[in-house]
Amino acid sequence: MAKKIACVIGSGAGAGPIIYELSKAGFQVIVLEKGPWFETKDFSKDEIALTRRSVVTPNLMDEPQVLEKKDHKNQWVAKSNFDTGNDFWNGSCVGGSSNFMSGYFHRMKEMDFKLLSKYGPIEGSNVVDWPIDYNDMEPYFDKVEKIVGVSGRLVNHKYQEPRSQPKFPFPPLAENIVSEWIDKAAGELGYTMIPVPRAILSQASEKRMPCYYSNYCGSYGCSSDAKGSSRAALINIALETGNCKVTPNAKVFHLKTNGKGKVVEAHYHDIDGGNHVIKADIFVVAAQAIESSRLLLMSKNEDFPNGLANNNGQVGKNLIFSAGGIGSGYLHYKDLTDNDAKKLSIPGVFVNRGLHHFYEIPQEDGTMTKGGSVDFLFEHANPIGRSIRRKWNADGDLVYGSALKKKIYHYFNDLRRLKFEIFVDWQPNDDCFVSLDPEVKDKWGDPVARIRLGHHKHDLKVGEYIAEKCEEILEIMGAKNISSNINGSAPSNLQAGGCRFGKDPKNSVLDINCKAHEVDNLYVSDGSFMPTGGSVTYTWTIYANAFRVADAIIKRFNI
């Protein structure tokens, strides 16, 4: 019997489990990745290349996007990010943005799957329940821990989600002494801090080496493969089966259907501008939420005049991000003992502390509303970025010359900045969606994504409440210059939605197994499927769901 051919578009967290499982099951898997193929040896800690230049993301001259935001008059204004420099891309290469994640891997909790039924509607929000629940996902959360590799230590707390295994497969990563101080301060307020599970190996596993604590993690590729990227943890293994072929620099621009409800071809541009066609039995789109919606919208034909799988007009709608914000305080060495100051200054080891105490927030009427989670971490080690931010004084005046040198020296040698990042549900709403821009084209002449970035005021209210509680923790720790910033800005690295899954074809794009309602052999396995995102980062959920979708595909097609 001839092998079933699966064409997977994209290679990040939503694609890796599909590629891994289908290759192992004997499918012939063809991966089309828009970006280049960087290997482990290619990843360095070059701040200019990785965070200040478009080396692992598309050049905005070649591939702009159009972002719609409200101006000071509350009017929507659309601007190309080539004109503004407001880069909204993530990692575009084999393994996608999972190469550059920080690997904070909190599971979604039981209530995250039933926000509407548990907490009720919110005016102006398109919140709905998921068509599956936590128990459907738990085996796959567990699978990600083992295969992708999650390090951590379980501490029971009031919002601890049920687990099939009593501990993480890898022990926790090394921690800075500041973690103990956070635990103590939070304890004084009656909060239980939890060690943050990380998709970073604390011990060697097969061909992957453990973390070597470089002090550069988020935004950087891992040169030891300790980080559980799709490339390192899944695709490299799939390639060893002989059933997987990865084609980099292959930008898919159209999915052709046969008029009978099936996709038959994927059309893509190569790096030289040539066009190619891939025929397959199964097509899986996992190009990240914005680009997946864009591809479906571009794939118009007589049967789908509004875009593939979009006869109900839902493709691109209800785009979500992670709401919340950040805060910080400064710990000065002069306020500590010499021994504590020395331990605090040690680079590389992690803070790894999270707070889930406010996953629900009590209201005056005795009911509860959905809250959020917090991760504590040090300021990113990037020296250029840290130095640039010193060029202004407290009055907003420019600092330069000797005064700037002294300020930079003081900042790098006399203190450490401790931050907290707050994650709350982004309310899906009618002003956050993806469409095709009618004028702006990319270098291949294809319409670019036009992204309206509207948030809901409820998100800010929840974030501000949690920020106040986190500032109290920093105060008890003796931090100085404590501040926080909660706003409605959309973080491009935490995107989902646009192709909701659900049971009703009238208001969802995908069924419960993430197959398009209207297309018999088309699946979407990245974060696009998520109707709501929970109050945690999305990557673990995307990985877990992609493993779930892979099982559904194998069960259906591997006869």
**What is the tens place of the pLDDT at every residue in 312-345?**
999 999 999 999 999 999 999 999 999 999 999 9
Whether residue 272 lies inside any domain: the answer is: yes
The CATH number covering residue 524 comes to 3.50.50.60
Average pLDDT, the chain: 96
For residues 315 and 355, state if they share a domain: no
> In 303-445, where do the E strands start and end?
317-320, 322-332, 353-355, 360-362, 368-370, 372-378, 415-425, 432-441
Domain that holds residue 351: 155-196+322-425+455-489
Q: In the chain, pLDDT over 90 holds for what percent of residues?
A: 95
Number of helices and strands (H, E) in the chain?
14, 22
Which residue, 489, 508, 536, sits at the end of a domain?
489
For residue 29, is it within any domain? yes
Question: Is 16 within a domain?
Answer: yes
In a domain, 518, yes or no: yes
354 & 471 share domain? yes
Q: What share of the chain is helix, strand, coil (3-state, %, to 5)?
A: 30, 25, 50
Secondary structure element (H or E) that encloses residue 487, with its range? strand 480-487
Supply the Cα-derived Rg of the chain in whole angstroms: 23
Question: Is 134 found in the same domain as 2?
Answer: yes
Question: 308 with 519: CB under 8 angstroms?
Answer: yes
Query: Cβ atoms within 10 A of the Cβ of 477, count?
Result: 18
* pLDDT tens sequence across 143-158: 999 999 999 999 999 9
Is residue 331 one of the residues assigned to a domain? yes
Q: pLDDT band for position 67 (50/70/90)?
A: very high
Give the rounded percent of residues in the chain with a pLDDT score beyond 70. Answer: 100
Q: With contact defined as beta carbons under 8 Å apart, do 524 and 485 qualify?
A: no
pTM for the whole thing?
Answer: 0.97
Q: Does one domain contain both 261 and 404?
A: no
Q: Which of 436, 469, 489 is the last residue of a domain?
A: 489
Chain centroid to Cα 283, Å, comes to 23
In tens, the pLDDT along 155-201 reads 999 999 999 999 999 999 999 999 999 999 999 999 999 999 999 99
Q: Are residues 227 and 261 in the same domain?
A: yes
pLDDT digits (tens, 9 = 90+) for 337-371: 999 999 999 999 999 999 999 999 999 898 999 99
Cβ-proximal residues to 260 (8 Å cutoff; 6+ apart), any chain: none
Q: Let me know whether 116 and 7 are in one domain.
A: yes
Q: Mind listing the pLDDT tens digit for each residue in 220-267?
A: 999 999 999 999 999 999 999 999 999 999 999 999 999 889 999 999
**C-alpha count within 13 angstroms, C-beta hemisphere, residue 552:** 20
Report which residue type is found at 382: N
Bridge partner list, 177: none
Whether 171 and 229 map to the same domain: the answer is no
Q: What is the CATH number of the domain that holds 166?
A: 3.30.410
Tokens of 231: 């490339």
CA 269 to chain centre: 26
Binned at pLDDT 50, 70 and 90, residue 432 comes out as very high
Mean pLDDT of 111-128: 97
From edge to edge, which strands make up the β-sheet containing 522-524? Answer: 244-247, 28-32, 5-9, 282-285, 522-524
Same domain, 542 and 501: yes
Residues pairing with 515 in the sheet? 523
Residue 301's CB is within 10 A of a number of other CB atoms, namely: 14
- Tell whether 208 is covered by a domain: no
At residue 438, does pLDDT exceed 70? yes
- Considering the domain architecture, whether residues 294 and 326 belong to the same structural domain is answered as no
* 240 & 299 share domain: yes
| 4/127 same-domain check | yes
What lies within 8 Å, CB to CB, of 293 at 6+ separation is: 315, 316, 319, 434, 449, 498, 499, 528
Hey, which residues does 354 pair with through a beta bridge?
Answer: 194, 375
List alpha helices for 27-133, DSSP H: 47-51, 81-84, 115-119
165 and 311 in a single domain? The answer is no
Distance CA 43, CA 32 (A): 22
Report yes or no on 74 lying in a domain.
no
Structural domains in the chain (count): 2
In the prediction, which pLDDT does 16 show?
98
**The pLDDT of residue 129:** 98
In a domain, 85, yes or no: no
Last residue of a domain, one of 441, 473, 489: 489
Sheet of 263-269: strands edge to edge? 251-257, 263-269, 275-279
Q: Residue 558: is its pLDDT beyond 80?
A: no
Residue 559 has pLDDT above 70, yes or no: no
pLDDT score for 1? 62
Q: What is the C-alpha separation between 531 and 112, in angstroms, rounded?
A: 10
**What kind and span of H or E run contains 194?**
strand 193-195
